[in-house]
């Protein structure tokens, strides 16, 4: 959004980010006229689906005549956002690398952008995170994809959440934010624990831990780790529970374990 005179309150909003969709819907679901195919919360949201976060349909968005489009610099492609701006739409782009960024950007979207009051969950989430303390003291690797294997690197929202709970990401100093690292290098990085979220890749008990046979595996809720919205309220408890109760080491890889 451009600086200057404050725009009028929007009546029609398109959200290109699942987290922001859920946040806006918590206070004013009627504002949302278009959301992505990945906007799964709330499940009963009555808004048109306009494609994915990486491939939204500009024609469908324009046809909805939104007063405001909310986006994120990481989840959405710059070319798509520029195309929407060139078509005359107002696009608010969030930048979120830390928990504090999330709270600030949620306030900007909801109060400045949508002209709503901050919801009660926003303050409750702040209190829960600020009152919390580390639950572990462990070196971790955090895969987020396989085929090819990718992990959390530097300056990520998910990495910041884990660090607040005492998980020290061994790739936090990597020059890339989401580096590709081969499984043998992950296994020998010196981790005490592998953290496996169920999104964006759906790691689970039978898909992921077998590639790290000598490490306990914490299976964490991806929404708690990567979404910035109402899920932040319960995220410290959910993530902390998962970190404290990992699956034991597999002991020996199954045939083909560790292959991309």
Give mean pLDDT, residues 88-109: 98
Q: Which of 88-92, 107-111, 197-201, 256-260 has the lowest mean pLDDT?
A: 256-260
Same domain, 152 and 98: no
With beta carbons less than 8 A apart as the criterion, state whether 154 and 174 touch.
yes
CA separation for the pair 191, 139 (Å, rounded): 5
Claim to verify: residue 139 and residue 185 sit in the same structural domain: yes
Question: 228 lies in a domain?
Answer: yes
Going by the DSSP 8-state scheme, the letter that residue 51 receives in this structure is B
Q: How far apart are CA 134 and CA 136, in angstroms?
A: 6
**Whole domain around residue 162: which residue ranges?**
133-244
1: in domain: no
Q: Is 164 part of any domain?
A: yes
Q: Looking at the structure, tell me whether residues 108 and 76 fall in a common domain.
A: yes
pLDDT score at 1: 54
What pLDDT digit, counting tens, does each position of 130-160 carry?
997 899 999 999 999 999 999 999 999 999 9
Q: How far apart are CA 94 and CA 231, in angstroms?
A: 18
Q: Is residue 219 part of a domain?
A: yes
Across 93-97, average pLDDT? 98
84 and 141 in a single domain? The answer is no
Is 239 part of a structural domain of the chain?
yes
- Residue 173: which of 199, 217, 141, 196 has the closest Cα? 141
Query: Where is the domain boundary, 91, 118, 145?
Result: 118
Q: Residue 228: which CATH number? A: 3.40.50.1980
User: What number is the average pLDDT over the span 10-22?
Assistant: 98
**In 3D, which of 201, 221, 226, 223 has the Cα closest to residue 211?**
201
In a domain, 44, yes or no: yes
Q: Are residues 113 and 197 in the same domain?
A: no
Burial of 257 (0-12, 13-18, 19+ CB in 10 A): middle
Q: In terms of domains, do 153 and 224 share one?
A: yes
Q: Are 31 and 55 in the same domain?
A: yes
The tens digit of pLDDT for each residue in 191-200 reads: 999 999 999 9
pLDDT at residue 81 is higher than 60: yes
Statement to judge: residues 87 and 164 lie in one domain? no
Question: How confident is residue 250, by pLDDT bands cut at 50, 70 and 90?
Answer: confident
Q: How distant, in Å, are the alpha carbons of 20, 31, 103, 153, 200 from that of 141?
A: 27, 40, 26, 9, 16
- Whether 42 maps to a domain, the answer reads yes
5 in a structural domain = no
- How many structural domains are present in the chain? 2
CB 121 within 8 A of CB 26: yes
Please indicate, yes or no, whether residues 74 and 157 belong to a single structural domain of this protein: no
Co-location of 145 and 99 in the same domain: no
Work out the number of other CB atoms within 10 angstroms of the CB of residue 212: 24
Which whole-number Å values give the CA distances from 90 to 83, 101, 203, 238, in the listed order?
11, 21, 37, 36
Same domain, 78 and 164: no
Residue 203 in this model has a pLDDT that exceeds 90: yes
Angstrom distances, CA of residue 13 to CA of 20, 85, 104, 146: 11, 14, 20, 34
Q: Is the Cβ–Cβ distance between 36 and 21 less than 8 Å? A: yes
Please compute the mean of the pLDDT values over residues 232-257 and round it to a whole number. 82
């Amino acid at each position: 959004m451009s600086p200057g005179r404050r725009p009028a309150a929007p009546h029609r909003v398109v959200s290109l980010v699942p987290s922001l969709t859920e946040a806006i819907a918590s206070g004013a679901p009627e504002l949302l006229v278009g959301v992505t195919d990945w906007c799964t919360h709330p499940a009963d949201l009555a808004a048109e689906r306009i494609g994915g976060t990486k491939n939204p349909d500009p024609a469908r968005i324009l046809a909805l005549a939104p007063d405001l489009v909310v986006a994120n610099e990481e989840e959405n492609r710059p070319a798509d956002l520029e195309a929407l701006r060139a078509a005359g739409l107002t696009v608010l782009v969030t930048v979120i690398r830390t928990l504090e960024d999330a709270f600030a950007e949620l306030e900007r979207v909801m109060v400045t952008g949508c002209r709503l009051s901050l919801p009660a969950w926003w303050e409750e989430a702040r209190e829960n995170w600020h009152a919390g303390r580390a639950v572990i003291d462990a070196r971790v690797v955090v895969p987020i994809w396989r085929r090819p294997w990718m992990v959390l690197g530097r300056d990520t929202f998910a990495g910041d959440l884990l660090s607040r709970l005492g998980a020290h990401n061994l790739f936090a100093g990597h020059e890339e934010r989401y580096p590709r690292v081969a499984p043998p290098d992950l296994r020998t990085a010196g981790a005490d624990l592998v953290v496996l979220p169920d999104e964006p890749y759906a790691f689970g008990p039978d898909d992921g831990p077998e590639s790290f046979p000598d490490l306990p595996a914490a299976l964490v809720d991806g929404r708690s780790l990567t979404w910035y919205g109402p899920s932040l309220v319960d995220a410290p408890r959910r993530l902390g529970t998962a970190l404290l109760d990992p699956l034991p080491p597999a002991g020996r890889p199954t045939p083909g374990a560790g292959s991309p």
